[in-house]
Amino acid sequence: MNVSVFDLFKLGVGPSSSHTMGPMTAAGRFLERLGPKVGRTARVRVTLYASLALTGRGHATDRAVILGLSGFEPRTLDPDQAERVVEVVRAEGKLNLAGRHEIAFDEATDLLWEGRKRLPQHPNALTFTAFDAKGAQLVERTYFSIGGGFVRDEGEMGLNTPPEASALVEVPYPFDSGEQLLAMAGDAGLTFAEVMRANERARRPGPGADAEIDAGLDEVAAAMYACIDRGMHAKGVLPGGLKVQRRAAQVRETLMSDADKRLADPLAALDWVNLWALAVNEENAAGGRVVTAPTNGAAGLVPAVLRYYDRFHQGTAQGRRNFLLTAAAIGSLYKKNASISGAEVGCQGEVGVACSMAAAGLAAALGATNAQVENAAEIAMEHNLGLTCDPIGGLVQIPCIERNAMGAVKAIDAARLALLGDGQHSVSLDKVIATMKRTGEDMSAIYKETSLGGLAVNLAEC
């Protein structure tokens, strides 16, 4: 699998890449499958299964389906416009299918929540069925939101090659494991970032490839920073019913007003890292624009560590690009050999993977050897093994927002610990990825984004 850096870092909207962006994308793919039959469609029924049904309301899956069927896409969606569209559909009981054909849409009968039924391929499943005016079935298709906004239909599950166009390009340095990546990069005399850049270059034949890659990476970094900046200034209560107060703005004001006193604090940098992570994940929880990194639930971790590199290590544009390219190389290994879906392996697949990616990216930006980068990624995941996904109320708020801050600090520590060594260590990244996958398989379903166990049950009164 040759995953592009721009597949792992995607522009989208909150609160969830698997429960919001994925279903919206699946709806768009269903519209493509309908094709000319859109005009003959009188009704569309959508059935949500297992995790999508159990935590879908808290993750805005219902809104995502409505918007996707209305022709909207996560990358270009305006959250304010989206809110108006959903309000109209619910008030009038009508939906503008694909943005051009009006049909009746009653959520009570057309959006079904089958939380007790899990399809064997993946817990994040949804089925679309289109009917004509006489009630005859036109098209039916099941899709699976496998994490990070990636979607597979029933014919693509289990394939070795994913359907993303970027994965179908022949690249000069294909790798399926950390061992292969280390060996390939070593033989070629390249860093992990240079390996990823060479593979990205193969997807863009022509003399302007590097400029295009740099522009894309700079756009990702700018979007991450814009999200931090929005989150640091927004105030109020997050939606969903838990009445969680946004804290980032208050934390920023405290840090700014207390700046002189904090200069003497050797750990003051961590306060800023915490702030930046909180800011992004509060934006995500509010349904704002974020970058999947590699998921929305973990979207604050990589931006916080990237800004830490910029602010406290006098970061450069090339350093930021190497950070993101390296992080994507590590993320692709998890996607290939384990999972980045909280519904499949728990939060170790989201915050844990993001922590591993950020640790590797930071180490690379600070000049680590390939062995040290691999070690940083391994350390970060080793100490996230078994991390559960048990959001209270099915909302990406508690413990998700603070968990990103904790993960960002852990990523920085993992990178620093790796840089103190020579890259030699007992447990390889491949071994820890395999362990993470096995741990996720052994984990009870109540701890995998179902809100049926853990904090979601024991602190439900919050």
pLDDT tens per residue, range 300-335 = 999 999 999 999 999 999 999 999 999 999 999 999
Residue 462: per-residue pLDDT: 42
pLDDT tens per residue, range 40-86 = 999 999 999 999 999 999 999 999 999 999 999 999 998 888 999 99
The residue-averaged pLDDT of 166-188 equals: 92
Residue 80: per-residue pLDDT: 85
d(C-alpha 83, C-alpha 291), whole Å: 20
Two tokens, residue 392: 């209270």
Angle, in degrees to the nearest 10, between helices 209-233 and 317-337: 90
Q: Which residues contact 83 (CB under 8 A, 6 or more apart)?
A: none
Q: Which amino acid is at 405?
A: A
Q: 3-state DSSP helix/strand/coil percent for the chain, to nearest 5?
A: 55, 10, 35
The residue-averaged pLDDT of 234-254 equals: 96
Residue 164: per-residue pLDDT: 60
Two tokens, residue 5: 């850096």
Residue 165: per-residue pLDDT: 52
Place of tokens 């999947």: 292
The residue-averaged pLDDT of 380-404 equals: 96
The residue-averaged pLDDT of 8-28 equals: 95
Structural domains in the chain, sorted by start? 13-153 (3.30.1330.90), 171-458 (1.10.4100)
**pTM for the complete prediction?**
0.92
Nearest CA-CA partner of 300 in 401, 230, 399, 229 = 401
* Averaged pLDDT of the chain: 94
